[in-house]
Structure formats: structure tokens, C-alpha cells
Amino acid sequence: MPPMTGNDLNIPSRWRQHLTLDLPESKAARPIWVHACSVGEVSSVAPLIEGLLDMGHTVHLTMVTDTGFAHAQRLFGGTVSLAYLPWDFPGLMRRMIAHLKPGLLLLCETEFWPGMLRSCRRFNIPVVGINTRISDRSFPRYRATRWLWRHWLKGVKLFLAQSDIDAERLKSMGVKKKRIRCVGHLKYAVRPPLVDSEALRLKVDASGKRPLLLAGSTHDNEEETLCRMFAAWKQAAPNLLLVLVPRHPQRFTPVIDSMTATGLRTARWSQGAAGRNHDAIVIDEMGVLGGMYSIADIVFIGGSLIPHGGQNPLEAAVCGRGVITGPHMHNFTAIMQDMRHAGAAVQCADAAEVEASVQRFISHPDELRQLHAHAAVFMQDRADVTRKMLKAIKPWLENTSLTAEVEP
């Protein structure tokens, strides 16, 4: 199914669904309820949802944010039912769950909502934590209140942790070892985008010959920092084209304005950029970034020059692209550690080191090819995560819509 455009999306009233004034409609009784907070979690859980759909199960997916909902619509179209998560008040959660009647809840990462967990225990709905991650920033808070979390999480049948670090942190929160299993990071199961790379390459650069430096999912002030480095990079590659993909759509126009103010000849993707005499392109459209990774020569991961914690480097790695990042990648600590050890990522200490690293790869294409080759092998070695996760949750799938009779 092709990705949906902005005009195709039909976003319901978030507030009415938060308050359960509008209740979700599932395609069958006893669906598998999957909860993923926002864009990143929706992307990571997509391979598992596709695996469940291939097995014949019915899936209901809930999100918290507008961007997460829109992304889910683009990914799944009408193949799963979608809704915003109710606010975590027991009455609202009970009302939604009593209406939906899920057979299983798959809870992504750290979406631990006490009201949700209590309501699932009341209705005897098994809960499995998938891709569970306890971040560096949140772990001290969880550990300090572990007496509460020991109680709230006791109804979760199994936690499928992203890494051994996350498994140890769950145990520190009072979860018994027998309810924790490490099967790997579900984000490793990301699939390469289905795009015509040649056509996309020509749309970005009509000559098809300019080296492309892609900065994916950039945040506040990062674009300006990269623009200041651009002059040095152009000395090594005079035809270099900088492709910027801001993380949030509300920043598209401000980013274009700020880049133009720096003196860079900047084009808007939505207005057709190829063939123009420009230094940079701002991708002002959602859902394009994945394809861009497949045509980039050098990739920088945004959210890493500021204390945001970085964005997902695996979306580039699955396209056979190694990555350069700034120092702040704590949202993906385990992944970055593995990628660095595999020679598939370069994590820089500061902006000056990012500038030097990009310049080195421009000047030494053999090192760049090696970085990308390591990324491709890295992803191939970890492609089996979805199968392992489906096998782990199999004992609870018999409660869901594949085997249950559809109620009138």
C-alpha cells in the first residue's frame, strides 16, 4: 500500500477520544491492542504489527500524539483500527476497554500507565511489554519509586527488553527475572522503504552527480550549526548538496527562513527542487525521510547536537548507510554502542568533531564505503527480531480474534 499524503489523512478529535466520548471501533471482537506513544514507537512496532496481520490477527493501535496518529495512518491505512489513548483515569480506561474487549495488550517501550494496567487486571486482559526500554534519564526515578512500580507492573505477564541493560533495570524496579526476556530491539526489524531510488535521486538533484549530505530529523538550532559548517565542507566537495529534514512539521518554514538568512541558497522540497542552483534543500513533507536515507552519500542523525537524545539511526542503517551523530544519543544508548562496535556509526564529542568527521568522509570515500558496508552487515545480523518476538508472545495470542468467535 503506498504511503498516504497529508490530504488523505482523516484525524479524529483527539480530545473526544481522550475523554472516551468517541469510542474506537475494532474490525473484530477480541483484537490485539497495541499501544505506541508517538512517531518513533509507531515506526518501531510496525514490523510486529505486519507480522500479526500476516498471521490473520486483528490489531487495534492507540497513540498519544497527533504526529503518531498521522504516521500510523500513513503506515497502515485501513488495515488496523486506530485511536488516541484515553487519559489515564480508571473510569475512562475501563470504559474504553469494556467497549473494545481486547484479547491482549502489547505495551511498547515505557508506556506504563497505572490506570491502564489496573483496568487490564480487572478485565483479565494479559499484558506483554514489548521493546521495553528504561532510559538513563528515567531510571533513577523508577528505582526511587520501585515499591509502587513493583505493584503496578505485577500484572504484566512478560517483558521483552531491548537490551541486557534494560533487563537489569527492570529487575531493579522489582520485576521478577522469570518475567523478563531479552530478544533484541524491535527497531532492528525495520524494513527498507519501498521507493524508486533512481527517480528520487533525480528529484533531489537533476544531474544525479552531486554528493548528498542528509541531516535527518533535525531539531532547534541544529540546522544553523550545520549551515555554519557548510563552507568548510564545500572546499572538499564544491558540488555538495545539503538535504535537511526537520523533525517537526511546524518548523519547516522557520528553518527555510533561517537558512536563507545565513546566505545559503535554499530550496523547498514541495516546490520542486531538482535542477536549481542551490546549496540546500529543506524537506517540508512528512513520510519522505526513509526514502532519502537510501540515496544519501553521508548521513547525520539529528537531535544529537542538543540534549534531546537523538533520533533512530537504524532507519539509515537498514538502507545500508552508516551514520554520524553528535554527542547526545542517550535515547538509543544500546543501539549506538552496538553500531559503534560494528564500525557502522561515528559518535562525535561536539559540533567541531562532527564538522571534521564529515570532512574526513568527503575526502576519503573508501572510508565512507566501509562505514556503509558495516551498517548493511550490522542490520543483516539482527533481522530476526520480529520472529523471536512473535514466538515469545505466542502463548497469549490464542485469546485474540484469530481464534475467538466474532460477537454480534
- pLDDT exceeds cutoff 90 at 115: yes
Q: Which three cell numbers stand for residue 197?
A: 531510488
Looking at the fold, whether 164 and 212 belong to one and the same domain comes out as: no
- pLDDT exceeds cutoff 60 at 8: no
Average pLDDT over residues 255-279: 87
Q: How far apart are the first and last CA of the chain?
A: 30
pLDDT tier, 9 (very low <50, low <70, confident <90, very high otherwise): low
- pLDDT exceeds cutoff 90 at 53: yes
Within 13 A of 330's CA, how many CA atoms are on the CB side? 11
In-domain check, residue 221: yes
Looking at the fold, whether 214 and 358 belong to one and the same domain comes out as: yes
Looking at the fold, whether 49 and 134 belong to one and the same domain comes out as: yes
Looking at the fold, whether 262 and 326 belong to one and the same domain comes out as: yes
60-98 residue pLDDT tens: 999 999 989 999 998 887 899 999 999 999 899 999 999
In-domain check, residue 402: no
Expressed as residue numbers, the domain containing 235 is 197-380
Radius of gyration of the chain (CA): 22
In-domain check, residue 408: no
In-domain check, residue 326: yes
Looking at the fold, whether 95 and 126 belong to one and the same domain comes out as: yes
- pLDDT exceeds cutoff 60 at 220: yes
What pLDDT, on the 0 to 100 scale, is given for residue 6? Answer: 40
Looking at the fold, whether 26 and 59 belong to one and the same domain comes out as: yes
Strands 241-246 and 212-218: parallel
Task: Return d(Cα 132, Cα 117) in angstroms, integer.
Answer: 15
Q: Which three cell numbers stand for residue 222?
A: 541544529
Looking at the fold, whether 336 and 356 belong to one and the same domain comes out as: yes
Task: Return d(Cα 260, Cα 27) in angstroms, integer.
Answer: 49
Looking at the fold, whether 275 and 359 belong to one and the same domain comes out as: yes
- DSSP H/E element including 114: helix 114-122
Residue-averaged pLDDT of the chain: 90
CATH code (residue 80):
3.40.50.11720
Cβ–Cβ under 8 Å, residues 193 and 222 = no
Is 41 marked active-site?
A: yes
Looking at the fold, whether 376 and 388 belong to one and the same domain comes out as: no
- pLDDT exceeds cutoff 50 at 3: no
What pLDDT, on the 0 to 100 scale, is given for residue 24? Answer: 83
In-domain check, residue 405: no
Task: Return d(Cα 223, Cα 167) in angstroms, integer.
Answer: 36
Cβ–Cβ under 8 Å, residues 180 and 171 = yes
Structural domains counted in the chain: 2
Within 13 A of 398's CA, how many CA atoms are on the CB side? 2
Task: Kindly state the percentage of the chain with pLDDT values over 70.
Answer: 95
Looking at the fold, whether 211 and 346 belong to one and the same domain comes out as: yes
The single residue of 25, 41, 367, 405 carrying the catalytic annotation is 41
360-401 residue pLDDT tens: 999 999 999 999 999 999 998 887 888 899 999 999 998 786
In-domain check, residue 70: yes
Report which of 291, 286, 340, 335 is spatially closest to residue 309, judged by C-alpha positions: 335
Report which of 139, 138, 113, 141 is spatially closest to residue 127, judged by C-alpha positions: 113
CATH code (residue 363):
3.40.50.2000
The C-alpha torsion from 140 through 144 and 145 to 150, rounded to 10°, is 80
Q: Which three cell numbers stand for residue 62?
A: 492507540
Q: Which three cell numbers stand for residue 371?
A: 562505514
| 31 phi-psi bin (left φ>0, alpha ψ -120 to 50, beta other) | beta
- pLDDT exceeds cutoff 80 at 10: no
In-domain check, residue 403: no
SS3 199: helix
Cβ–Cβ under 8 Å, residues 26 and 60 = yes
What pLDDT, on the 0 to 100 scale, is given for residue 277? Answer: 84
Task: Return d(Cα 307, Cα 371) in angstroms, integer.
Answer: 25
- pLDDT exceeds cutoff 90 at 402: no
Q: Which of 24-28, 98-102, 118-122, 390-394 has the lowest mean pLDDT?
A: 24-28
Amino acid identity at 71 = H
pTM: 0.66
In-domain check, residue 34: yes
Task: Kindly state the percentage of the chain with pLDDT values over 90.
Answer: 70
| Strand order from edge to edge, sheet including 127-132 | 81-84, 59-63, 32-35, 104-108, 127-132, 156-161, 180-182
Looking at the fold, whether 105 and 249 belong to one and the same domain comes out as: no
Looking at the fold, whether 228 and 156 belong to one and the same domain comes out as: no
